[in-house]
Structure 1
Amino acid sequence: MPRYALKVEYDGGPFSGWQRQTALPTVQGDIEAALARLEPREHTIAAAGRTDAGVHAVGQTAHADMDRDWSPFRLMEALNWHLKPAPIAITACATVPDDWHARFSATRRHYLFRLVVRRPPVTFEAGQVWQVGHPLDLAAMREGAAQLVGRHDFTTFRSSICQADSPVKSLDALEIEHVARADGFAEYRFHVRARSFLHNQVRSFVGTLERVGAGAWAPDRVRLALEARDRAACGPVCPPHGLYLARVDYPDDPFAAAE
């Protein structure tokens, strides 16, 4: 059975997350249904990350096994046709070896979180960004973020329902960028990179750092919260709709030839 890597983009708003669930709309469920239109049977695909309800992706990666030898372009086009009108797009497709796995072959995952400082409601970006109505101190947020980079026990910053075997993870980067917007308001983009993440880890980071930027927390309180290894020490968990799975890295990029 030939195996194909799929690069997937989606608006997470209408879905109950990536992972297939009975009687609930999911990204995995819709892609598997589209695959079944091409080759009528039960399909099971695997993804690099199981995003939560409301979380978006511009660079999710999945793999699928097919019976036929499809050209990657034709498979991408056929899937996109059958995915209509769901807000899901296959943006690249490539053949990969039989032992290549979207999750286990990945070496790093990149997440983006978008936070907009604006009192009037956003219109065109509703459901795409987290909006707050008060100014934020970028330098303070960066100072707090720096204390999270490295290898730590992230118990404070993971969900109580997290199923990871260990709370110890290595965070490669947590960078905060100020972006000039055409509407004149401020946007902060949090770029977070690691080999793997705990459940709700990125949203816990951003919610905590927003409190630092707002002046409710001193930057050093982030270090104290980390060292507490206690979920109760975490700041508020921010909403999912500003979070994007931006990219997944592999030792050999399966899509390099297609780009």
Structure 2
Amino acid sequence: MSLPTTLWIVLGTQWTAAAVFTLLGVVLLRRSVADDAARFASVMFALWWFGLGVSKFVAGLRIALQVPDVPLSLLVGLSFVSSSAVAIGLAGLLCHLIYLFTGRTALLWPVIGFYALLCGWIISSSSVWNPVGVEISAWGAEFAYAQPYTMAYRLVVLLVIVGPQVLAVAALFVMAARLPSSAGRFRTIVVAASVAIYIVDALIAPAYPADSAIWQIVHHMIPIGVGLGVLAVYRPPRWLRGRMPPELSATALREAAGA
């Protein structure tokens, strides 16, 4: 496979980020929890990171498959897999957040139903725009469509995809501000800040200079740093472990934060 060096860099960073996000999801699933409700919260948060991992893996695979005779239908199908994974991840993130603040799990199915409908809408809309090929640039590969996305479509997607993440970050920062330092404030701030950095980077990525290798490399390294940062507070290295405050249960967090 003949790819320029820049695309090899992108491929490597995408798959590294996918591996880090997947490892983080596994760590969350293997955490010791107090009860079934806490297990639910861990599983929901893990789904978010698994969804991001699948999305990054597919993004790298789209580059790796830029070889002759690869059918466009395969690449489109992979994008549908990515969209579905992100939708499941967003549902998990919202359910995790709702549980942290309310202790309730009853909203699981309505949230899943909403994002299932969203995923179906995105997939059907993509078919309407009619992908006709893949445009390869120095730093990525994107679908080319016979019809461009409408502004209304972009705004809706931005609202329902970015909106829950912004809500999660704001809610976590509010919770962290109410926590005493001994009750896991550092851990909560790191998670909130990491997700915030990920969101901001994704939003401003189109403004990065396309001809600047430094900016592009930083952009593709940020997800790896975000994943490693969150991983460090859930499975801290030995040198950090002794400095970390004990982790509280979701119930104790709500009580400490006055939620």
Verify same fold: TM over 0.5: no
- TM-score w.r.t. the length of structure 2 is 0.27
Q: Structure 1 or 2: larger helix share?
A: 2
Q: Structure 1 or 2: larger strand share?
A: 1
